[in-house]
């Protein structure tokens, strides 16, 4: 049954309220814990048992950090990294070019630096070399180094690791493993096929952090003091959110603590990046995912592949400022390229049809650095796994994003094993592939079949799930602070979303090219400002801007707006429906 009778909102979605059992649990939790009802509603929806509610509001690494030794090859990997430091060996870090790879590399660079040692950073070029280790680079690194540590990559790199003759190779990764592992000294990966899967939600930076925790334990067992690890949690938090790892268990504690570290503004690179992005408030998970993350990624997408990792590891404020400004410019350029590819991909996908188990598009010269973002946009629009491929010569390089319950990485890996792809891999929610131009159609048809077997394509437009009703007078800063205690929010732990029913819009104005800002109230005196990003790109913006005095139900998430030294509640508007008769 739809919530408030909204079967099709202005964005075409059905509104769904909290399940009866969630409401009952929230009421019982409020009675037994004396916590605010709105907070209990959020906790109940997140699946937090009543007896664990207060502990959930204060997550600690002490309680939630797993024993690093629960992962295979952990002690061997940590011991080899530690040995390289003690013997002052030549160490190279081979990192992926995204945020998770850059932060993983910066973690190791920072750790070695605290022990008085510099290491070599190598990040492959997305276009010239592609994802992960390659034979030439690994052979060249092995000739000049004793140890190569592959971070956020390497689990499927049998050939390139074999090419690293004369050097030991340690892989610290989280991508889905194959039936066999490469011939590395150690492969620490919670998504190895012989792992339990209990830590499958960790990103690569969290895996690296656990390796450093284990190294710290070995240092202490030898009677010495190791580097500070709490101070690097800002990097782990950034990677966890930017890589869309679910914010549950230890991930939630890592991000929560990492945000506190970041707020101290001690990491030169992140300070410079925050300043160039005009981030003048304490960082939240939103800022990690949508403000800082895209800028760190920009170098790997369309510019200098190692720029993000170098910025995160930088200790010179002047160098950091220059790199941050360069990344900001690249991010602007990336948005322009992405816009052109997104329009072309959507047109092609619509012509092919958006009601199948897979939405896909392939185009000549589409930049490999933006196909993943465009795939994500298609996935969000259609609630279906999506693949976008850029064609160049005889091959195409593509990236995909999936929906909950559909393992895209496993399907892509199977496609590669069947010979329909030249290369392919990833994890449940994201994957990459390389395919011959004349095999694209057959590969995508087969992929659609595999995904359909997992249930892809069975749903229509995504339902908008709501936590309840709020009146403008109840949306206070105090309520926001109470709700923030249940955070941080993000993947796997959505922030509470409320409806303000039957409200009247006071003013509406366009902001930038496509955003809309409005003010609304219920006629009883209280008013709230709301911002809706990209509203004018679809039907939502025009309907609210040209409201003509009509009343609406407005749905979205609450946030703090800081302006001129004042803090106020703002609604990040996501959807609306005409009030009155069922929409």
Domain ranges of the chain: 3-38+467-578, 76-328, 353-453
Confidence label for 461 from pLDDT (cuts 50, 70 and 90): low
Do residues 14 and 464 touch, judged by C-beta distance below 8 A? yes
Alpha helices per DSSP H over 424-539: 440-453, 477-484
- How far apart are alpha carbons 158 and 230 in whole angstroms? 34
CATH code given to domain 3-38+467-578: 2.40.50.460
C-beta neighbour count of 131 within 10 angstroms: 25
Mean pLDDT of 158-172: 98
> Quick one: pLDDT at residue 566?
85
**HSE of 300 in the Cβ direction (CA atoms, 13 Å)?**
28
Mean pLDDT of 99-119: 97
Q: What is the pLDDT of residues 462-508, one digit of tens each?
A: 688 999 999 999 899 999 988 988 999 988 888 999 999 999 999 89
Mean pLDDT of 69-94: 98
Residue 41 is classified by DSSP as: H
> Quick one: pLDDT at residue 404?
82
Alpha helices per DSSP H over 95-232: 99-114, 135-144, 158-162, 204-221
> Quick one: pLDDT at residue 341?
96
Q: How far is CA 120 from the centre of its chain?
A: 27
Torsion of CA 551, 555, 558, 562, to 10 degrees: -50
pTM, two decimal places: 0.87
Mean pLDDT of 171-188: 96
Percent of the chain past pLDDT 90, that is, above it, reads: 79
Residue 475 is classified by DSSP as: -
> Quick one: pLDDT at residue 459?
62
pLDDT at 582 over 60: no
Do residues 145 and 164 touch, judged by C-beta distance below 8 A? no
> Quick one: pLDDT at residue 12?
86
pLDDT: which is higher, 91 or 524: 91
Mean pLDDT of 14-30: 94
> Quick one: pLDDT at residue 142?
98
- Domain 353-453 in CATH 1.10.730.10? The answer is no
The three-state DSSP-derived secondary structure of 309-370 is: HHHHHCCCHHHHHHHHHHHHHHHHHHHHHHHHHHHHHHHHHHHHCCCCCCEEEEEECCCCCC
pLDDT at 581 over 60: no
CATH number for 76-328 (one of 3.30.420.40, 1.50.40.10, 3.40.50.720, 3.90.1640.30): it is 3.90.1640.30
Residues 6+ apart with CB under 8 A from 533: 514, 515, 572
pLDDT at 374 over 50: yes
Mean pLDDT of 72-99: 97
Residues in the chain: 583
Q: What is the pLDDT of residues 352-362, one digit of tens each?
A: 988 899 999 99
> Quick one: pLDDT at residue 567?
86
Beta bridge partners of 499: 469, 555
**Which residue carries 């950073």 as its tokens?**
121
Q: What is the pLDDT of residues 230-271, one digit of tens each?
A: 999 999 999 999 998 999 999 999 999 999 999 999 999 999
Mean pLDDT of the chain: 93
Confidence label for 292 from pLDDT (cuts 50, 70 and 90): very high
Confidence label for 583 from pLDDT (cuts 50, 70 and 90): very low
Alpha helices per DSSP H over 34-145: 37-45, 53-56, 61-64, 74-86, 99-114, 135-144
pLDDT at 58 over 80: yes
- How far apart are alpha carbons 194 and 197 in whole angstroms? 9
**Cis peptide, bond prior to residue 137, ω within 30 of zero:** no
Task: Give strand ranges (E) for 186-274.
Answer: 186-188
């Amino acid at each position: 049954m739809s919530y408030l009778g909204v079967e099709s909102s202005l964005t075409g979605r059905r509104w769904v309220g909290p399940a009866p059992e969630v409401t009952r649990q929230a009421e019982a939790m409020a009675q037994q814990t004396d916590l605010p009802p709105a907070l209990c509603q959020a906790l109940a929806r997140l699946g937090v048992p009543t007896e664990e509610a207060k502990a959930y509001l204060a997550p600690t690494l002490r309680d939630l950090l797993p024993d690093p030794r629960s992962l295979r090859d952990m002690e061997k990997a940590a011991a080899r990294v530690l040995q390289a430091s003690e013997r002052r060996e030549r160490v190279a870090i081979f990192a992926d070019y995204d945020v998770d790879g850059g932060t993983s590399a910066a973690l190791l660079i920072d750790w070695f630096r605290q022990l008085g040692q510099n290491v070599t950073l190598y990040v492959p070029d997305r276009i010239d070399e592609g994802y992960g280790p390659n034979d030439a680079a690994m052979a060249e690194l092995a000739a000049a180094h004793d140890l190569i540590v592959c971070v956020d990559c390497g689990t499927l790199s049998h050939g390139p690791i074999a090419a690293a003759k004369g050097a030991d190779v340690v892989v610290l990764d989280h991508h889905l493993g194959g039936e066999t592992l490469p011939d590395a000294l150690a492969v620490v990966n919670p998504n190895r096929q012989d792992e339990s899967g209990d830590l499958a939600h960790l990103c690569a930076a969290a895996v690296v952090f656990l390796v450093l925790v284990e190294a710290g334990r070995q240092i202490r067992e030898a009677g010495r003091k190791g580097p500070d690890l709490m101070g690097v949690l800002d990097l782990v938090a950034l990677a966890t959110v930017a890589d869309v790892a679910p914010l549950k268990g230890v991930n939630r504690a890592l991000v929560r603590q990492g945000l506190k570290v970041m707020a101290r503004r001690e990491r030169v690179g992140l300070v410079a990046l925050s300043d160039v992005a005009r981030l003048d408030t304490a960082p939240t998970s939103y800022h990690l995912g949508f403000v800082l993350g895209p800028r760190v990624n920009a170098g790997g997408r369309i510019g200098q592949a190692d720029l993000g990792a170098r910025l995160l590891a930088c200790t010179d404020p002047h160098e950091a400022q220059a790199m941050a400004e360069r990344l900001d410019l690249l991010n602007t350029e990336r948005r322009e390229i992405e816009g052109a590819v997104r329009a072309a991909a959507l047109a092609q996908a619509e012509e092919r049809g958006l009601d199948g188990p897979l939405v896909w598009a392939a185009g000549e010269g589409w930049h490999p650095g933006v196909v993943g973002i465009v795939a994500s946009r298609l996935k969000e629009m259609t609630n279906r796994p999506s693949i976008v491929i850029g064609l160049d010569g005889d091959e195409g390089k593509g990236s995909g994003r999936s929906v909950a319950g559909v393992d895209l990485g496993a399907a892509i890996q199977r496609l590669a094993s069947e010979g329909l792809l030249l290369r392919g891999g990833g994890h449940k929610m994201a994957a990459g592939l390389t395919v011959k131009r004349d095999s694209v159609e057959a590969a995508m048809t087969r992929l659609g079949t595999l995904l359909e077997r997992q249930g892809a394509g069975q749903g229509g437009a995504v339902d908008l799930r709501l936590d309840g009703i709020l009146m403008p007078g109840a949306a206070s800063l105090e309520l926001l602070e109470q709700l923030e205690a249940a955070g941080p929010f993000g993947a796997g732990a959505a922030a509470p979303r409320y409806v303000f029913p039957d409200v009247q819009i006071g003013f509406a104005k366009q902001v930038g090219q496509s955003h809309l800002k409005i003010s609304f109230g219920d006629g009883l005196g209280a008013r709230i400002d709301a911002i809706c990003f990209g509203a004018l790109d679809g039907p939502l913006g025009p309907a609210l801007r040209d409201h003509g005095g009509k009343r609406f139900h407005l749905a979205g998430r609450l946030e703090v707006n800081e302006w001129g030294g004042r803090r106020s509640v703002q609604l990040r508007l996501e959807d609306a429906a005409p009030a009155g008769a069922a929409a």
